[in-house]
Structure 1
Amino acid sequence: MKKIFKKYFFSVFVFIFFLIIFIFTRFTYNVTNSLPKGFYFKKIFPKYEKNNLVLFELNKKYLKYLENFPNKNKMRKIYLMKRIAGVYGDKIEIKRSGEILINGIKKGKIFKIKGLNENMKGESYVLKKDEFFVMGDTPTSFDSRYFGILKKKDLKFEMKFLIDEKNLEKIIKYF
């Protein structure tokens, strides 16, 4: 009886251990203002389509341009979450005025950032296969308007929104 207990106990323990690791590594919390603050789930089978949320690692050369990002200098890697705004075949236009259009529809403005884009000129580009243009939901989001186009290999996960900060507070107060 003891041998059976030990055998099953170990199997159950290993199963629970991996289940906990799987569950806790599938979630992330957004701390920036470019998307609603809250918990997001990392999808197992991603679909990188327009309007879907994605998580990617920001190239370190852009760290100095991130404002109000908690502990950015202490982190080895910075991951950002943005919405896919442009996909294969979409035409991205940047006007001299800083306006950005995707397929002729105004999507926002590019603000001048010293040392990054001071000499802005009008240009257009059609996204190739496995290229993505990502944007946050706020006008001042640090996104593809500043760091450029992402390749499919740059995308780590498709994300799904679960619960925002305000509703999470309500749940915690309930308990």
Structure 2
Amino acid sequence: MKKHMPAIIVATSFLLYFIYFSSRYTLAYPPGQSACLHASFFLIDKWDTDIDQGDLAYFEMNVENQFYPTGLRWIKKVAAMPNSKVSIEENRVVVDEVTEFPLSLRHIITTLNLSGNSIGEIEDYTKNIQLKDDEVFMIGETTNSFDGRFWGPLKIEQIKGTAYAIF
């Protein structure tokens, strides 16, 4: 038994590390042809829900929309934190009149309308939103992103972790 003790300790250590890693972290990738972020493979820390503007966040979508069922898990960029003012314009999202995210509404609205999934016109989505103290605003990074510009703010409680782009 003494002879096998180092191997047992090493095996137990690996097992405990695996249990810890798998309970805290998840690997994720976008389904199908989704191209809302520049990365395509992510490490998600499910224990870290403390997000900041510019972070990638893993969240549960509980906002009704015509394309996806509620309850799905998504990864998007945090554009605005609680109590921020978000201005959605045709070619950009501006937060607190300081931080600008260049994103065109025209491409995705035209694409969806031409595919038979009528989503409306650009004017339906250009607006100002004042976030409450329990809300954040999420965006994608590409012109194909279906994001907060279409569904509005999320409650902070919907954030389920921080995501890190691997590649």
Fold conserved between structures, TM > 0.5: yes
Cα 1:107/1:132, change in 2 over 3 Å: farther
Report the equivalent of 1:50.
53
Alignment size in residue pairs = 150
Work out whether residues 84 and 96 of structure 2, in 8 Å CA contact, stay in contact via their aligned partners in 1.
yes
Contact 1:57 1:154 in 2 (8 A): yes
Letter in 1 for 2:19: I
In 2: Cα distance, 1:124 partner to 1:39 partner: 31
User: Contact (CA 8 Å) 1:28, 1:42: kept in 2 or not?
Assistant: no
* Structure 1 residue 16, shift from structure 2 partner: 4.5
Q: Residues 22, 98 of structure 1: CA spacing in aligned structure 2 closer, same or farther, 3 A cutoff?
A: same
Describe the superposition over 1:138-172 as per-residue Cα deviations: whole angstroms up to 9, x where unpaired.
122111111210111111001223x21xxxxxxxx
Report deviation, 1:131: 0.9
TM-score relative to the length of structure 1: 0.65
Partner of 1:38: 41
- Larger radius of gyration between Structure 1 and Structure 2: 1
**1:65 alignment partner, SS class:** coil
CA displacement at 1:12 relative to structure 2: 7.7
> What is the one-letter code of the residue matched to 2:44?
F
The verdict on how the C-alpha distance between 1:129 and 1:117 changes in structure 2, with shifts beyond 3 A counting, is farther
In structure 2, relative to structure 1, the CA distance for the partners of 1:34 and 1:20 (3 Å cut) is same
Counterparts of 2:29 and 2:124 in 1: how far apart (Å)?
30
1:108 paired to 2:106? no
> What amino acid does structure 2 have at the position aligned with 1:24?
S
State TM-score, norm by structure 2. 0.68
Partner of 1:80: 74
2:42 touches 2:163 (CA, 8 Å); kept in 1? no
Q: Distance in 2 between matches of 1:121 and 1:61?
A: 16
Query: Following superposition of structure 1 onto structure 2, how do residues 1-175 of structure 1 map, counting pairs within 5 Å?
Result: 16-25=14-23, 26-31=25-30, 32-35=34-37, 36-42=39-45, 44-59=47-62, 61-62=64-65, 65=67, 77-95=71-89, 100-104=93-97, 105=100, 107-110=102-105, 111-112=108-109, 114=117, 116-118=119-121, 120=124, 122-161=126-165, 163-164=166-167
22 and 147 in structure 1: CA distance in 2 versus 1, 3 angstrom threshold? farther
Judged with a 3 Å threshold, the aligned counterparts in structure 2 of structure 1 residues 14 and 146 are, in CA distance, closer, same or farther, namely farther
What CA distance in whole angstroms lies between the structure 2 residues aligned with 1:44 and 1:121? Answer: 34
- How much does 1:93 deviate? 2.1
Q: Identity of counterpart residues, as a percentage?
A: 22
